[in-house]
Amino acid sequence: MFALAWKFIRFDKAKSVGIITAIVISIFLIGQQVGLLLFLMGLMGNLVGNANVKDNQIWVIESQTQNANTLTKIDLRYVQQLQSINGVEQAFPVVIGNAEAKFLDGNTAAVQIIGSDAPDFVIGPNPTRIFQGNLSDLSLPEAVSVEFFNAKSWNTDLYLNKQIELNSKSAQVKLITKNAQAFGGNYVYTNLFNARFYGNVDPSKVSLIVLNLDKNSNKQNVINLINSQYPNLRAWDTKALQNSTVKEILISSNMGMSFGTLVVFAMISGFFIIGLTLYSSALDRVKDYGTLKAIGANKTYVNKLLITQALLYALIGFSVAFLLLIGFSQGVKKSGLEINFSLGFVSFLLGITLFISIGGSLFAVRKISKLEPASVF
């Protein structure tokens, strides 16, 4: 069947090229937009993503906040109180403050200073995202990190030991992160003391408290306990807070709607372009399909022939679109936009390709299905 379908495809070169081009354009656009959205969603949740998160860990923030990027400060004394809860092994205060970074060449940039205690640095950066320098160096006075991919947007060179100013206070780059970007901001990691100093944060306040739990304690029980006993606080599973943050931003910015609409329209247009071209191609070959029926092919065989052609178009179109997407991702990687071709993402794209190709072929299947073998006499 594949050999016969391939001969039909090869014979009608102009239409085949048209169908494959439509698939390639649709899947490339969908892949590009979904890949970009997934990247941005990663950035939205990167406060959690960059942190040194452990399985048995809870993050505690102010009770009304749903978005980890807009934390309201809470009282420092909660650190001691939460430390005393049964099942909590250790409580780590985290401070996040805003600052203006100024470079020797006069360029400036708004940054978020994120600090947690050495040597754990629970809030990050995660060692997998360290490009240059040692995490332990952040414990030094004036030591801060910068993000490799910010060099372009800040229009300045970034290197270790570079002197910069944060809120007009002298600081030194001791660590360079890579792929630890923020959504709509720039993360600068340091220790807790430096974060208070550069971010002008009240010493009696913290932004969030990270709790490491005992091995034997039940995470959900501790979360429930904190949420019931501390009305001003809310304890989160880290993954849940990350998801909540992404959801909040997607809803408030309408990004989900915007990207979703584009993807749906690319799917619809692909579906109809492919469907109608396949239909037109089937009409061109209507005599061949009728002859097949007349000499003894049943309906199922002819339908299979059409669907197999659609399947082959899908596989060819998907392969070309995927190669283009890899090329695109390599091109934008240098500027820090990393499209992650996870198994789920690739499966999603393949599923969409099959849907628009095989779904589109149903117009032709319907037409040919009704074709009478007598029509060729």
Partner 1 sequence: MNQAIVQVKNVKKTYQSGDTLVTALDSTTETFNKGELTLIMGPSGSGKTTLLSLVGCVIYPTSGDVYLKNLQVNNLSENELANIRLNTIGFVFQQFNLIEPLTALENVMQPLILQGVSNKEAKERALIALEKVNLLERKNNLPKKLSGGQKQRVAIARALVTNPEIILCDEPTASLDAKSGATIMEELKQLSRQDKAVIIVTHDLRLRKFADRIVYVEEGKVSNTISNEEDYK
Cβ closer to partner 1: 54 or 299?
299
Q: Give the 3-state secondary structure of residue 100.
A: strand
13 lines the binding site for partner 1 (CB under 8 A): no
Interface pattern 256-285 for partner 1 (x via CB under 8 A)? -----------------------------x
CA gyration radius for the chain?
Answer: 28
Map the footprint of partner 1 across residues 282-311, applying CB under 8 A: 285, 287-288, 290-301
| Long-range contacts, 134-137 (Cβ 8 Å, 24+) | 134/174, 134/175, 135/175, 137/174, 137/175
Neighbours of 1 (CB within 10 A): 12
Cβ closer to partner 1: 96 or 371?
371
Shortest Å distance, C-beta 275 to partner 1: 21
54 lines the binding site for partner 1 (CB under 8 A): no
Shortest Å distance, C-beta 313 to partner 1: 15
The DSSP letter of residue 296 is T
366 lines the binding site for partner 1 (CB under 8 A): no
Structure token digits, residue 223: 């979360």
Cβ closer to partner 1: 10 or 334?
10
377 lines the binding site for partner 1 (CB under 8 A): yes
Binding piece for partner 1, criterion CB under 8 A, among 10-18, 119-127, 228-236, 323-331: 10-18
Shortest Å distance, C-beta 367 to partner 1: 16
Shortest Å distance, C-beta 295 to partner 1: 5
Cβ closer to partner 1: 25 or 297?
297
Shortest Å distance, C-beta 11 to partner 1: 3
Kindly determine how many residues on this chain lie close enough to bind partner 1 according to the rule CB under 8 A. 26
Sign of CA dihedral 185, 187, 192, 196: negative
Q: Where are the alpha helices (DSSP H) in the chain?
A: 2-11, 13-44, 46-49, 77-83, 150-154, 192-199, 219-229, 238-253, 255-284, 286-294, 299-333, 343-369
Cβ closer to partner 1: 12 or 165?
12
Cβ closer to partner 1: 162 or 304?
304
15 lines the binding site for partner 1 (CB under 8 A): no
196 lines the binding site for partner 1 (CB under 8 A): no
Cα(305)–Cα(281) distance, integer angstroms? 13
Q: C-alpha dihedral over 241, 44, 78, 188, to 10 degrees? A: 150
Dmax (CA) of the chain: 93
Structure token digits, residue 155: 């229009």
Cβ closer to partner 1: 279 or 322?
279
70 lines the binding site for partner 1 (CB under 8 A): no
Shortest Å distance, C-beta 368 to partner 1: 14
Shortest Å distance, C-beta 292 to partner 1: 7
Cα(54)–Cα(56) distance, integer angstroms? 6
Structure token digits, residue 12: 């009608």
Cα(89)–Cα(122) distance, integer angstroms? 14
Shortest Å distance, C-beta 376 to partner 1: 6
204 lines the binding site for partner 1 (CB under 8 A): no
Sign of CA dihedral 366, 370, 371, 373: positive
Structure token digits, residue 254: 């309408």
Cβ closer to partner 1: 7 or 77?
7
Note the residues at the interface with partner 1 (CB under 8 A): 4, 7-8, 10-12, 285, 287-288, 290-301, 372-374, 376-377
